[in-house]
Structure 1
Amino acid sequence: MVCRRLRTPGTLLIAVLLAACGAVRQQPYTEDQAIDRAQADQVSMYKDQEPVTGPITFHEAAARALKYNLDYRLKLMESALASNLRDVSSYEMLPRLVASAGHLGRNNDSGGTSIGIEDRQVSVRASTSEERYRYLGSLGLSWSTLDFSIAYYRTAQKADQILMAEERRRKVAQNVLQDVRNSYWRALGAQRLLPQVDGLLARTNNAIRQAREAQDKGLLPRQEILAYQRALLDSVSLLTIRRQDLEFSQAELRALMSLPANAPMQLVDTPNPELPALGTDIGQLEQLSLVKRPEIMEEWYRKRANERDIEIAKAQLWPNLSLILSSQYDSNKYLYNNYWNATGVDVSINLLKLLAIPSLNASQQSQRETDDARRIALSMAVLTQVRVGALRYQLSLQEVQFANESLRVDANLLDYSRAARKTSLGSELEVIRAEGRFLLSSYQREAAFANAQAAWGRLYNSVGLDVFPPAIDSFDIKTLSGEIQRVTTEMEQSALLRIATGGGAGASLVRP
């Protein structure tokens, strides 16, 4: 009996489908496929980029980083995805217009008989009013208040998620600009110092070779020549470490601008710009940071999006009104009317769900308090960042002044050593030492200036100031660079400095 059942067509079909599902196995990618994928990804990293045609300014480096940085591109895609999801959700508020068609068939006739209610006797012979094979078609329009309410709240929630994605995009852009500000000035210092460091390393290595020859020939006492070699090796070690730092900064700047590692990169070598002065009153900066910071704005939008979940749950508690309007067709020849229109109104409510109203109200209040507490805690951290950023910038200005003074002293010592140079190894060692100290002071000076620029950029970042236009993709590199330079100049001359010094424009700049 069991074997006969297994031979039925439906059972055999299910068995075949289950066997097919169990036989599905994913094959791993081959090495050749991985190589092709890696090459395609590498091409995608650098495609559609404007070529570098000359020395790069700071504002051009910032423009290239914003336009071609892959992390920033990813955030743009997330914003676009959130917008598309909002559009999809908005269509769910529309009524449902459903068209259907089908064919029905059976191997015998449907029908039946009637029996008397009192005597249970068959009153008519078996009959049917339905064909064995018939076609059906319908076009129905339905609308539900519950579906509309849920779709409305979800669309509003998706709209808040778009705004949250936009704040994340702003944050990534601000971080990219901060990284560019930090790396550009270090890379420019590397461009200035690397040739000098390479030249001094070559001279130092040559001096070490000469010292070894003098040691082999016994021209100087062994202790003196070893001390001389030790001093030279220390100088080589220190210069090599500094040289690596300089090369790393150039590689980091290339990565930020999404340039290939072997691409030529020449920076505009102009005198370092004057560092802006910052006042002591940062109260307006703190207030502005609470308005501008992307993280705080994102948390504020998240609070509103979280409230939509509770509103959706409450909407499911109230009566649901459904309206139905449809046109029907049935090819059954026994019907008197094969075409007809149907209408309907239905109201329903789950009374037991009303018991959840107190719990939902309590959950809504707890959610609001939690969101407010998280935002306030984040605001306190933001205020701390502003204060620390202002202090760090003030200290970096002092560091630049100290580095300038050290560079001036080491330059004078180098001039003195060169003037007092003799033919002995000791005098040559002194010149090399003086040159090494001068280069190290130059490195410290460039590093101090880069640190000051980075501290200034972190202050921008801690306040949440945008120095870039909203639509970055619509600008070419030259136009975007000019726009960044214009906004930065205006901000440093009006907004940031006036706020920091308590100027009259500060109050008007707090509210965007």
Structure 2
Amino acid sequence: MNYGNVDMLNASVPVMTVTPRPFRFAPLGVLVAAVILSGCGTIKPTPLTQDEITARVNQDRAAMYQGQEAVTGTLTLSDAMARALKYNLDYRLKMMETTLARSQLDLSSQDMLPKLMTDAGYRWRNNDSGGTSVGIDDGVISLRPSTSEEREHYLADATFSWDVLDFGMSYFRAQQQADEVNIAEERRRKVLQNIVQEVRDAYWRALGAQRLLKETEPLADQIASALAKTREAEQAGILPPIEGLEYQRALLDAMTTLNQKRQQMQMAKSELNALMNVPPGSNITLDDKPLPLASVPQDMDKLEQMALERRPELREEDYKARIDSYETKRQIASLLPNLNLFAGVNYDSNDYLYNDSWVQGGVGVSMNLFKLLSIPAINNNNDARRMTDDARRMALSMAVITQVRVATERYKLAVYDFQIADQSAQVDQRLASISRAGSDNSLTSDLETLRTEARSIVSRFQMAGSYAEAQAAYGRVLNSVGIDLLPDQVQQTDVASLSNAIASSLRREEQTVFASVALKSAPVQAVRVEVGRLPGGADRAAITRSVSQVLTANQIEMGETPQSLRLRMQFKTVSSSTARKGQWTMDVIDSDDNLRLSRQYQSYLPDDASTRTLSALAQAAALSVTDDIQRISGARTAPLARP
């Protein structure tokens, strides 16, 4: 082949002269690199200043109680639950976690969309690119070095692509994330149920403290004064040393027990404030209305079925099993061939290009054949995962059934303990009343009266604690079944509206668990005390107040309404050859003038039948029919029965 005319060929082609462009960006790049390198290693730990810490604390304290409705009036149980639902910080956190899970679901759904990638850039180099052609057979260079790319040029492109396999993977991941939202919702339900349980427990203990703490302060003062008198009497020789020390020991024991009970009940107020997110130290007043305890559920099969259907933990396991099933499908889909479709437009400012803009597209199919070897391992893994899910769900179901039975049994025992404590408190109150009636103002008599009064207050603390335990056990039964606090939809979110919705929802849900809860909806009848015949000189108003106080202390609602029951009490002296007794005749009359109860109560009467003595005997007489009045008025529905 003749290569002699190469020079002529080259001479006929116009030559484009390329002038190297100056190196304009090197100084700037060196400067940026120097600044970055000089910054490395110069950062040192800087502790927070006290002003920054104080500012953060003040900001958090203001934010903790910001935007809350003020506590006004008396709080019912549903009011306390509503405030806990709206303002409890732990519940707010779970709400935020649910919102976060929903936002992650939105992100996962976006992954299923096709990709539209845009790209723009600038390229620069300090010399020309290019090359020569070399013969394959003889290695002879056939062309002189040439370039088809400028040293500086701009690039831009937009490419639409859709990967079928990526779409399938994203679809299954989105389904899994949707179930993660459901799991977050079930965890929110569980936190809400636990908060309701804690509010119920703290509420009734705080109410017991509200009822009794005011009575303990004057009694504590009286005990302290009695201790001082006893020491003085011992030093003066009025009391023998052993007798004086025994009285002091008894009074100190009573004071110790009283303080322990008072502290236990007093802590409940702080716990309730924290659950409602009320500032510590806030003075709140709880609604002091009697609420009867429901009878113990008997249909355990029904409760177990409800628990297995409603418990958030089991629903969470159902969602986890569904997530695992989507994981199985995702692993199987990953074995299939992948189909990729793409199309895009491109632009390049390179002047050497014949076409500086173009459209391109294509289709690609790919498959990892070695991954087919993992099919047995995938099947074994999925079978093991499914068996593990079933075993975990079965174990959890057994635990739920056990919790339902244990909670029901504990409620049965708690109700019985409360009834025993209630009767014990009434006996101690009657003893205190009789002791006050027989007191002759001597030191030993006053000390004995204080001992019986202290024991009476302690018994009432124990009764209040037993009642709070019974209410807590009642709530644990509801919690073990998994009932919901709120209906599916709530129109308004203010505390009053939430309280009404909670009260209606709880009443409806509780009726599915406790057959006798429907009795709670019937209003409890108030009681009005009427004191009739009395000895001359006795203060009728004082005796009426003392009887009303002791009935109120035993959760009997007092009031004057057209539907009120009337407790009519009349006194007379009954004398015999051996002793002089006082007899109270008590009649309970309803609003239709029907006689519902008639009882007599007798007790030894001191020579001095003063108003104080008659008041104490009247209290003891009223306490003897307290159970009957509670049943007639509807304040108590369950009779005393051994578990």
**TM-score for both structures, normalised by structure 2:** 0.74
- Give the 5 Å matches for 1:212-361: 212-270=231-289, 272-361=290-379
2:68 is equivalent to residue 36 of structure 1? no
SS in 2 for 1:34: helix
Matched AA of 2:94 = K
Q: Which residue of 2 aligns with 1:443?
A: 461
2:438 is equivalent to residue 420 of structure 1? yes
Q: Which residue of 2 aligns with 1:380?
A: 398
Q: Which residue of 2 aligns with 1:478?
A: 496
- Give the 5 Å matches for 1:389-404: 389-404=407-422
SS in 2 for 1:259: coil
SS in 1 for 2:155: strand
What is the CA–CA distance in structure 2 between the aligned matches of 1:324 and 1:499, rounded to whole Å? 69
Q: Is the 8 A contact 2:161 2:341 kept in 1?
A: yes
Q: Which residue of 2 aligns with 1:4?
A: none
Q: Which residue of 2 aligns with 1:65?
A: 84
What is the CA–CA distance in structure 2 between the aligned matches of 1:91 and 1:471, rounded to whole Å? 29
Per-residue CA deviations over 1:389-431 (Å, capped at 9, x if unaligned) read 1111111121122122112211211111011102322111111
Per-residue CA deviations over 1:365-393 (Å, capped at 9, x if unaligned) read 10111111111101100000000111111
Q: For residues 208 and 278 of structure 1, do their structure 2 counterparts lie closer, same or farther at Cα, with a shift above 3 Å needed?
A: same
Mark the runs of 5 or more structure 2 residues left unpaired by the alignment: 1-25, 519-643
Q: Is the 8 A contact 1:285 1:500 kept in 2?
A: no
Alignment coverage as a number of residue pairs: 493
1:198 alignment partner, one of 209, 217, 240? 217
What is the CA–CA distance in structure 1 between the aligned matches of 2:45 and 2:112, rounded to whole Å? 40
Per-residue CA deviations over 1:333-367 (Å, capped at 9, x if unaligned) read 22121111000111111111111111011001101
Q: Which residue of 1 aligns with 2:525?
A: none
SS in 1 for 2:210: helix
Q: Which residue of 1 aligns with 2:587?
A: none
SS in 2 for 1:137: strand
Root-mean-square deviation over aligned CA pairs: 2.2
Quote how far apart the aligned CAs of 1:48 are.
Answer: 1.2
What is the CA–CA distance in structure 1 between the aligned matches of 2:29 and 2:505, rounded to whole Å? 72
What is the CA–CA distance in structure 1 between the aligned matches of 2:373 and 2:456, rounded to whole Å? 80
Quote how far apart the aligned CAs of 1:472 are.
Answer: 6.6
2:474 is equivalent to residue 459 of structure 1? no
Quote how far apart the aligned CAs of 1:72 are.
Answer: 0.6
What is the CA–CA distance in structure 1 between the aligned matches of 2:329 and 2:87, rounded to whole Å? 41
SS in 2 for 1:276: coil
Q: For residues 492 and 133 of structure 1, do their structure 2 counterparts lie closer, same or farther at Cα, with a shift above 3 Å needed?
A: closer
What is the CA–CA distance in structure 1 between the aligned matches of 2:517 and 2:487, rounded to whole Å? 23
What is the CA–CA distance in structure 2 between the aligned matches of 1:289 and 1:176, rounded to whole Å? 18
Quote how far apart the aligned CAs of 1:500 are.
Answer: 11
SS in 2 for 1:93: coil
SS in 2 for 1:23: coil
Q: Is the 8 A contact 2:297 2:513 kept in 1?
A: no
Q: Which residue of 2 aligns with 1:490?
A: 508
2:436 is equivalent to residue 411 of structure 1? no
SS in 2 for 1:326: strand
What is the CA–CA distance in structure 1 between the aligned matches of 2:125 and 2:30, rounded to whole Å? 19
Matched AA of 1:457 = G
Query: Greater RCO between the two (CA within 8 Å, min separation 6)?
Result: 1
Matched AA of 1:372 = D
Q: Is the 8 A contact 1:317 1:354 kept in 2?
A: yes
Q: For residues 474 and 457 of structure 1, do their structure 2 counterparts lie closer, same or farther at Cα, with a shift above 3 Å needed?
A: same
Quote how far apart the aligned CAs of 1:176 are.
Answer: 0.6
Quote how far apart the aligned CAs of 1:196 are.
Answer: 0.6
Matched AA of 2:63 = S
What is the CA–CA distance in structure 2 between the aligned matches of 1:499 and 1:310, rounded to whole Å? 48
Q: Is the 8 A contact 1:303 1:368 kept in 2?
A: yes
Q: Which residue of 2 aligns with 1:93?
A: 112
Matched AA of 1:330 = D
| Structure having the higher Rg | 2
Q: Is the 8 A contact 2:486 2:501 kept in 1?
A: yes
What is the CA–CA distance in structure 1 between the aligned matches of 2:429 and 2:517, rounded to whole Å? 36
1:133 alignment partner, one of 149, 152, 167? 152
Q: For residues 25 and 315 of structure 1, do their structure 2 counterparts lie closer, same or farther at Cα, with a shift above 3 Å needed?
A: farther
Q: Is the 8 A contact 2:123 2:152 kept in 1?
A: yes
Query: Larger strand proportion, structure 1 or 2?
Result: 2
Q: For residues 269 and 498 of structure 1, do their structure 2 counterparts lie closer, same or farther at Cα, with a shift above 3 Å needed?
A: closer
SS in 2 for 1:111: coil
- Give the 5 Å matches for 1:1-40: 17=36, 20-40=39-59
Q: Is the 8 A contact 1:182 1:450 kept in 2?
A: yes
1:368 alignment partner, one of 371, 374, 386? 386
Q: For residues 373 and 31 of structure 1, do their structure 2 counterparts lie closer, same or farther at Cα, with a shift above 3 Å needed?
A: same
Q: For residues 40 and 103 of structure 1, do their structure 2 counterparts lie closer, same or farther at Cα, with a shift above 3 Å needed?
A: same
Per-residue CA deviations over 1:49-72 (Å, capped at 9, x if unaligned) read 110111111110011111111111
SS in 2 for 1:163: helix
Q: Which residue of 2 aligns with 1:183?
A: 202
What is the CA–CA distance in structure 2 between the aligned matches of 1:10 and 1:72, rounded to whole Å? 53
Matched AA of 2:508 = E
Mark the runs of 5 or more structure 1 residues left unpaired by the alignment: 1-6, 502-512
Query: Larger helix proportion, structure 1 or 2?
Result: 1
Indicate the percent of aligned positions where both proteins have the same amino acid.
Answer: 47
**TM-score for both structures, normalised by structure 1:** 0.92
